[in-house]
Structure 1
Amino acid sequence: MKNYLFALFCVSISQLINGQVVLNSDGPGDTYQLINSVFANPNRNVVEAPDCSHSDFGNHIDEVFDTDLNKNVFRFHIHVSPDNDRCKKFDRQRNEIKSYSDSPENLKAEKGETVEYRWKFKLPENFKTSSDFTHIHQLKVVGGPYASIPMISFTLRKGNPDKLELRYTATKKQNTLKTVSLDLFKGNWVEVIEFVKFDDVGSYSVIIKRISDDKEIFNYSNSPLDTWQDGAEFARPKWGIYRSLKSKEDLQDEIVKYADFSINEIKGLLSVDVLKEKAERVLLMSNSSSEIEFKNVDDYDLVELFNNSGRKIEIENRLSDEELDVSDLTKGLYFIVFKKESEIRKVLKCYVK
Structure 2
Amino acid sequence: MWITIIKKHLMRSCISTMSVLTLLGCGGSGDAPSVTPITSTEEPAIPSPSAEEADQPLESSPFTSFQASSSITVSADGPNSGLSAYKIIENAFAEGAIEAPDMYPTDHVDVLHILEDTDEIVGPHFIFLAHRDRDFNKGVESDRQRNEIKTYDKSAEPLKGYQGETMQFSWKFKVSGELELSKKFSHFFQLKAKNFNEDNSNGNDDQPMITLSGVDKDSTGNELQIRYSSGFNPDGTSTSDIYLIKTDWSSITDEWLEIKVQATFAEEGAFYMQISRIRDDALLVDISEPNIDMWRGVSSEDFVRPKWGIYRSLADADSLRPEEEQIRFADFNVAKDAVAE
- Which TM-score tier does this pair reach, normalised by the shorter chain? 0.7 to 0.9
| TM-score normalised per structure 2 | 0.73
Match of residue 286 from structure 1:
none
SS of the residue 1:184 aligns to: helix
The amino acid of 1:103's aligned partner reads S
Aligned residue among 269, 276, 292 for 1:225: 292
Match of residue 249 from structure 2:
182
* Cα contact 2:193–2:297 (8 A) shared by 1: no
* Cα contact 1:10–1:195 (8 A) shared by 2: no
**Distance change >3 Å, CA 56–CA 170, structure 1 → 2:** same
Aligned residue among 327, 337, 341 for 1:256: 327
Match of residue 151 from structure 1:
209
Aligned residue among 213, 222, 228 for 1:168: 228
**Distance change >3 Å, CA 97–CA 34, structure 1 → 2:** same
Aligned residue among 216, 224, 241 for 2:283: 216
The amino acid of 1:31's aligned partner reads A
SS of the residue 2:258 aligns to: strand
Match of residue 67 from structure 1:
120
Matched, 1:131 2:183: yes
The ranges of structure 1 where at least 4 consecutive aligned residues each deviate by more than 4 angstroms after the TM superposition are 2-5, 12-15
The amino acid of 2:176's aligned partner reads P
Using the alignment, how far apart are the partners of 1:12 and 1:118 within structure 2?
11
Matched, 1:37 2:91: yes
Q: CA deviation at 1:4?
A: 4.8
Using the alignment, how far apart are the partners of 1:185 and 1:199 within structure 2?
31
The amino acid of 1:214's aligned partner reads D
Matched, 1:142 2:194: yes
Q: CA deviation at 1:9?
A: 8.3
Number of equivalences: 262
Structure number with larger C-alpha Rg: 1
Higher relative contact order (CA closer than 8 Å, sequence separation 6+):
2
SS of the residue 2:221 aligns to: coil
Per-residue CA distance 1:94-139 (angstroms, 9 max, x = gap): 1000011121000000000000111110001212102111100000
- The alignment yields a C-alpha RMSD, in angstroms, of 2.2
Matched, 1:88 2:155: no
1:1-353 correspondence runs (5 A)? 4=47, 10-11=61-62, 15-29=66-80, 30-40=84-94, 44-51=95-102, 52=104, 53-57=107-111, 59-69=112-122, 71-143=123-195, 144-145=199-200, 146-159=204-217, 160-172=220-232, 173=239, 174-231=241-298, 233-252=302-321, 253-267=324-338
**Distance change >3 Å, CA 181–CA 60, structure 1 → 2:** same
Please say which of residues 19-28 and 223-232 is displaced more in the overlay: 223-232
**Distance change >3 Å, CA 10–CA 102, structure 1 → 2:** farther
SS of the residue 1:170 aligns to: coil
**Distance change >3 Å, CA 56–CA 13, structure 1 → 2:** closer
- Name structure 1 gaps, 5 residues minimum: 270-353
Match of residue 25 from structure 2:
none
SS of the residue 1:35 aligns to: helix
* Cα contact 2:192–2:210 (8 A) shared by 1: yes
**Distance change >3 Å, CA 12–CA 31, structure 1 → 2:** closer
Using the alignment, how far apart are the partners of 2:47 and 2:126 within structure 1?
35
Match of residue 293 from structure 1:
none
* Cα contact 1:16–1:268 (8 A) shared by 2: no
Match of residue 38 from structure 2:
none
The amino acid of 1:234's aligned partner reads F
The amino acid of 1:167's aligned partner reads R
Q: CA deviation at 1:50?
A: 0.9
* Cα contact 2:166–2:265 (8 A) shared by 1: yes
| TM-score normalised per structure 1 | 0.70
Using the alignment, how far apart are the partners of 1:140 and 1:99 within structure 2?
10
Per-residue CA distance 1:205-241 (angstroms, 9 max, x = gap): 1010011111111121112110001426000000000
The amino acid of 1:264's aligned partner reads A
SS of the residue 2:110 aligns to: helix
Q: CA deviation at 1:91?
A: 1.2
Per-residue CA distance 1:134-185 (angstroms, 9 max, x = gap): 1000000111532110000011100223111111112232211211211111
The amino acid of 2:309's aligned partner reads G
